[in-house]
Amino acid sequence: MAIGLWLQRCTPGVSSLMVIFLVTFSESFLIIYTLFIHLVISAMPLRIFRGARLATQQMRAALEASQQEMDEPENSSASSHNPTSPGLIHVCIIPSYKESSETLHDTLRILASHRLAKSTYDVFLAMEERDPNAIAVAEALVSKFSPSFLDIQYCLHPSDIPGESLGKSANVAWTAREVEEKYLGRPNFKDVLVTIMDSDTHLLGTYFSLIQRRHLELRAQSDLSATTLYCAPIVFDRNSHQVPRLVRAADMGWSCSGLACFKRPDDHHGIVFPTSVYTLPLSLASAVGGWDTGPGAIGEDMHMMLKCYFATNGHLNIESIASPASMSNVTSAGTGWSGWVQDHKARYFQGLRHMWGCLDSGYAVARWYQMGSSPLAGNKVTRPNMEEDGKKARRSSPGDETVEVRASKGGFLWLRNAVLFLRLFEAHILPLHISCILVASSYYSSHLNSSTSSPYLETALRITEYARTVNGIFMAICLTTVYADFHKACVERAVESGGYSGHSWPACYKYGIWDFAIVTGSGIAFLDGQSTVSGEWKAC
């Protein structure tokens, strides 16, 4: 049993050892697997092209619709076409640990500028008890922004809860229980939507208005509103001019990976992994038992999506929202040569933290075996009370009410599971496997004249060499056309909404040609190399 759990947890690392072993002793495996790897890689620029183009089109359409609504009088008949619900609440959980007051102030300022803020936004500042300035910062922000929101409060997450791994997931889990205590039992419980966001994330008002509209449409048309998770693409557009080119390009690649999964609402087989920002019904979060807090949940966003996916037996409805989340590139705030080195170091360690998410691959494998016995299989689940453990124990869930959660009735679940594991493979396993395959291909290329070589090996190596060249050309076209257009549209919307000051607008308007040229190299440097190895084996 212990060995099985270890193998599940170390799925990416164990699979890499298997690949190294197989390519060493089997040319046939190398031929088949290298063709498969390059097929997956070749599809990436096409998916990015489609996702970026679709996101830009939907984003501009949403902006036009929003401007039309703002231009119309509130009492006009056209305004009645905008679905509203007096009971719908947007809960915003903003986890923070030693973040500056200025960072949180800017985030709240952007939220407070939204049209729905005073009527529907209930903000929870998720502070850490181990932060010595947490209470002072939180109380000052609550006092300043109380008139701007429906409600705003803060929570202090204790640091000595047994079994918890300190981090965003544990902080969010603690605050989410506060949210549940506040709303459980209210008539509008099913219309409480919880948004998780980083402390430096800037969201446009269209993010919440689009989700509100879609939630009400799903509630009226089907039973999917209770099992829908909403994800936003991310864009690094606020301080791009202040970080080294390699760091900037690495984050561009991170943004592109999210756009590759951007999908239409009618794509029921598509899988979208949330990145930092996502929204789900409080009823769904409550039904699945809330956010996990152990070491396997360090990648909180993807982990929660997977938890909901398997709890609903693969029927979780995941929708992309055409309102990108504005992020900042990681920076050390240093200057000169030392600052340049520290910026790269900071981005490397950020990539290392991201790769802790590889634990979710093993988690997905384990949950896949248990899908048939999911507690939501019968459409109803009662969340059990949590047991007390010590002085500062996990608080029990308020009551043991039954929460009804309905799943979609779509077929071809096997296909959706296949897409899910392919996306997990791309995120956590593919980077290191690429390195293994390239090293093996280089070795075999130098031994092609050997009489023991397979007659198909030379053909396979030649095909994959051409594939890499064509893939690089396609990626360059994709980045310099549709992605550049997407980034430009994001910045324009942010400026129009007051998200930027005037001096920062020209600098972050667009990327240079060298940024596009080194996207692949920066991805290898920050994610595919030591970060992947460390992330996969430290987890073991």
Token pair listed for 538: 């430290």
Q: Furthest-apart CA pair in the chain: how many Å?
A: 83
Q: How many CB atoms lie within 10 A of CB 469?
A: 10
Q: Region 55-66: what's the mean pLDDT?
A: 87
CB 142 within 8 A of CB 152: yes
Given this model, what pLDDT does residue 40 score? 94
The per-residue pLDDT for range 114-156, each reduced to its tens digit, is 999 999 999 999 999 999 999 999 999 999 999 999 999 999 9
CB 425 within 8 A of CB 11: no
Ranges of each domain in the chain: 30-64+88-381+412-501
Site of tokens 């992605």: 483
pLDDT at 514 over 80: no
The values of phi and psi at residue 328, to 5°, are -105, 140
Given this model, what pLDDT does residue 142 score? 97
pLDDT at 57 over 90: yes
pLDDT at 5 over 80: no
pLDDT at 394 over 50: no
Q: What SS3 state is found at 193?
A: strand
The values of phi and psi at residue 17, to 5°, are -65, -40
pLDDT at 481 over 60: yes
Range with the poorest average pLDDT among 383-387, 455-459, 515-519: 383-387
C-alpha to C-alpha distance for 272 and 400, rounded to whole angstroms: 32
C-alpha to C-alpha distance for 207 and 325, rounded to whole angstroms: 8
The per-residue pLDDT for range 403-438, each reduced to its tens digit, is 454 444 445 788 899 999 999 999 888 888 988 898
pLDDT band at 78 (very low <50, low <70, confident <90, very high): very low
- Cα angle: 429, vertex 430, 433; to 5 degrees: 90
For strand 380-382 and strand 402-404, is the pairing parallel, antiparallel, or unpaired? antiparallel
pLDDT at 77 over 50: no
The per-residue pLDDT for range 274-331, each reduced to its tens digit, is 998 999 999 999 999 999 998 888 889 999 999 999 999 999 999 999 999 999 888 8
- Cα angle: 153, vertex 159, 163; to 5 degrees: 120
C-alpha to C-alpha distance for 484 and 478, rounded to whole angstroms: 8
Rounded to the nearest 10°, the torsion over CA 6, 10, 14, 15 is 130
Given this model, what pLDDT does residue 81 score? 45
Given this model, what pLDDT does residue 272 score? 94
C-alpha to C-alpha distance for 493 and 60, rounded to whole angstroms: 9
Tell me the CATH number for domain 30-64+88-381+412-501.
3.90.550.10
User: From start to end of 401-528, where are the E strands?
Assistant: 402-404
Range with the poorest average pLDDT among 34-38, 208-212, 502-506: 502-506
Given this model, what pLDDT does residue 410 score? 45
Q: Region 206-210: what's the mean pLDDT?
A: 94
pLDDT cut 90: percent of the chain above it: 43
Given this model, what pLDDT does residue 528 score? 46
Task: From 420, 480, 39, 60, select the one nearest 252 (Cα to Cα).
Answer: 480
C-alpha to C-alpha distance for 482 and 238, rounded to whole angstroms: 20
Burial grade of 466 (CB within 10 A; 0-12, 13-18, 19 or more): exposed
For strand 121-128 and strand 402-404, is the pairing parallel, antiparallel, or unpaired? unpaired
Query: How many residues would you count in the chain?
Result: 540
Q: In one letter, which amino acid is 353?
A: R
Side-chain-facing half-sphere of 371: CA atoms under 13 Å:
17
Q: pTM higher than 0.85, yes or no? A: yes
pLDDT band at 223 (very low <50, low <70, confident <90, very high): confident
C-alpha to C-alpha distance for 83 and 88, rounded to whole angstroms: 11
Given this model, what pLDDT does residue 355 score? 76
Side-chain-facing half-sphere of 51: CA atoms under 13 Å:
26
Choice between 382 and 94, residue whose per-residue pLDDT is larger: 94
Given this model, what pLDDT does residue 399 score? 44
**DSSP track, 325-384:** EEE--------HHHHHHHHHHHHHHHHHHHGGGGHHHHHHHHHHHTGGG-TTTTSEEEPP
Task: From 225, 210, 195, select the one nearest 58 (Cα to Cα).
Answer: 210
